[in-house]
Amino acid sequence: MRKKIVAGNWKMNKTYEEALSLVSEIDHMVRDEVNGEVTVIVTPPFPYLQPVGKLVQGNSKMHLAAQNVSEHESGAFTGEVSAAMLQSVGTEYVLVGHSERRMYHHEDAQTLYKKMKMALAQGLKPIFCCGEPLEERDADRHFEFVGQQLHDSLSYLSNEEFDQVVVAYEPIWAIGTGRTASSQQAQEMHAYIREQLARLFDAEAAFNTSILYGGSCNPGNAQELFAQPDVDGGLIGGASLKSRDFVAIIKSF
């Protein structure tokens, strides 16, 4: 059965001290208040990965993710961080293809495919992000657009590799805007994504893949979104920076 996952993407926020207090608050609240089976992922900036990872190590519900990974294996790539480095400091998951990386760092489908391969080769589980800009939604091309993103970066993976992948649907018009997709919009896209994954891999793999919703998810709308049959949790930006809000979202299943 697929996992329920809530992942907090801290983006480029928090000093070291702030990051440590945020994660210890989350850790305590998750221990005290979260009963059901849920995978909680925290995604701090690179310099805090190891200390944040150490803090959550003893909590079986909590897991560590990185926000990015290099498409190269090692060598003269100043400023880049490799999959092996992430793995060596205890990282378990990694975001690949967040729309901010696609937009501001010009990461194309081919680059994302290479990142997926690098991550998988080191035993990291990629959280592959997809989602359409507003123009595509307005022109009623959102399904086609997302289908293409999935095809272009995932279709060359083997079934065994794909088993390790989590997908996050994040409509760009909903990220950081306070404008959330309705639960119906989320459900129909998640069902479509699952259908595409069944075509690219097989029905069982598609059924077992966790598909997360992201984009202005908060304690007020998480419950309705997570109640949809094909929404298996959330990728949370802004609301993951406040422990109380983040834990309220975790408790929304």
Tokens 């997908």 correspond to: 167
Does residue 170 have an active-site annotation?
Answer: yes
Q: Which of 100, 107, 136, 170 is catalytic?
A: 170
User: Contact region for ligand PGA (CB under 6 A) — 33-41, 62-70, 118-126, 215-223?
Assistant: 215-223
Report 42-101 residues binding ligand PGA (CB under 6 A): none
Does residue 37 have an active-site annotation?
Answer: no
Q: Which of 71, 132, 170, 245 binds ligand PGA (CB under 6 A)?
A: 170
For residues 147 and 187, the answer to whether their CB atoms sit within 8 Å is: no
Distance of CA 54 to the CA centre of its chain: 21
| 155 vs 219 by CB, closer to ligand PGA | 219
Distance of CA 86 to the CA centre of its chain: 16
Is 216 one of the binding residues for ligand PGA (CB under 6 A)? yes
For residues 247 and 202, the answer to whether their CB atoms sit within 8 Å is: no
Q: Which of 97, 126, 215, 233 binds ligand PGA (CB under 6 A)?
A: 215
Q: Angle of helix 142-154 relative to helix 109-121, nearest 10 degrees?
A: 50
Listing DSSP states for 58-86 in one string gives T-TTEEEEES---SS-SSS-TT---HHHH
Question: What is the H or E stretch that residue 212 is in?
Answer: strand 211-214
Least spacing, CB of residue 153 vs ligand PGA, in Å: 17
In three-state secondary structure terms, 123 is coil
Is 238 one of the binding residues for ligand PGA (CB under 6 A)? yes
Report 4-33 residues binding ligand PGA (CB under 6 A): 9
Is 217 one of the binding residues for ligand PGA (CB under 6 A)? yes
Instruction: Please report, as ranges, the residues that interact with ligand PGA according to CB under 6 A.
Output: 9, 170, 175-176, 214-217, 235-239
Residues known to be catalytic: 98, 170
